[in-house]
């Protein structure tokens, strides 16, 4: 899915801070608990989730856009996070991970974080970004549609037909 970026006024959710290279373990725990039992869960262990996040932060899916990637921290634990990487082939940011801990879901954290990240990307002068979502991941599909992501590139507000 694609989204044309436009100027946005959005305050990040309380407790947000930019993601750093040192967040592998913190985000690994979040990833494990967020994906467990969902359509995208393939039986990964906690250790594998920590490894996946550590590798993601060191460029497994492309260079991480750290200033535009945010995590919400509560009592030393990551409860939600959004990670954007550079999609070298498309030349635009790719939303690689959106995760909210089950205990914190349904409070608007993912929507708030993604909106703030989109504002950061727009401020970095990106015109567009993209993501990949598993068909049938309703919570994610609903958020992305609500935020204006579309299956067609170059559509949406601010773009002439």
Ligand X SMILES: CC(C)(COP(=O)(O)OP(=O)(O)OC[C@H]1O[C@@H](n2cnc3c(N)ncnc32)[C@H](O)[C@@H]1OP(=O)(O)O)[C@@H](O)C(=O)NCCC(=O)NCCS
CA 153 to centroid of chain Cα atoms: 19
Q: Of 40 and 159, which has the nearer Cβ to ligand X? A: 40
Q: Does 16 bind ligand X (CB under 6 A)?
A: no
Q: Of 106 and 161, which has the nearer Cβ to ligand X? A: 106
Contacts of 122 (CB under 8 A, 6+ apart): 5, 6, 7, 8
Min dist CB 113 to ligand X, Å, is 8
Q: Which of 137, 148, 150, 156 is close enough to bind ligand X by CB under 6 A? A: 137
Q: Does 100 bind ligand X (CB under 6 A)?
A: yes
Q: Does 105 bind ligand X (CB under 6 A)?
A: yes
Contacts of 72 (CB under 8 A, 6+ apart): 13, 14, 15, 16, 78, 79, 80, 81, 104, 109, 113
| First-to-last C-alpha distance (Å) of the chain | 18
Q: Which of 12, 29, 35, 46 is close enough to bind ligand X by CB under 6 A? A: 35
What residue ranges bind ligand X (CB under 6 A)?
34-35, 38, 40, 80, 98-100, 105-111, 133, 137-140, 142-143, 146
């Amino acid at each position: 899915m694609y989204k044309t970026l436009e100027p946005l006024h959005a305050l990040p959710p309380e407790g947000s801070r930019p993601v750093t290279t040192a967040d592998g373990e913190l985000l690994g725990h979040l990833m494990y608990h967020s994906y467990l039992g969902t359509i995208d869960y393939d039986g990964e262990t906690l250790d594998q989730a920590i490894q996946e996040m550590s590798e993601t932060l060191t460029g497994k899916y492309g260079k991480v856009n750290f200033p535009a990637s945010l995590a919400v921290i509560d009592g030393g634990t990551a409860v939600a996070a959004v990670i954007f990487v550079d999609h070298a082939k498309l030349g635009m940011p790719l939303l690689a991970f959106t995760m909210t801990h089950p205990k914190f879901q349904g409070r608007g954290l993912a929507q708030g974080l993604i909106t703030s990240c989109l504002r950061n990307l727009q401020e970095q002068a990106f015109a567009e970004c993209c993501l990949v979502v598993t068909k049938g991941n309703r919570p994610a599909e609903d958020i992305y549609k609500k935020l204006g992501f579309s299956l067609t590139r170059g559509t949406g507000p601010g773009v002439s037909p």
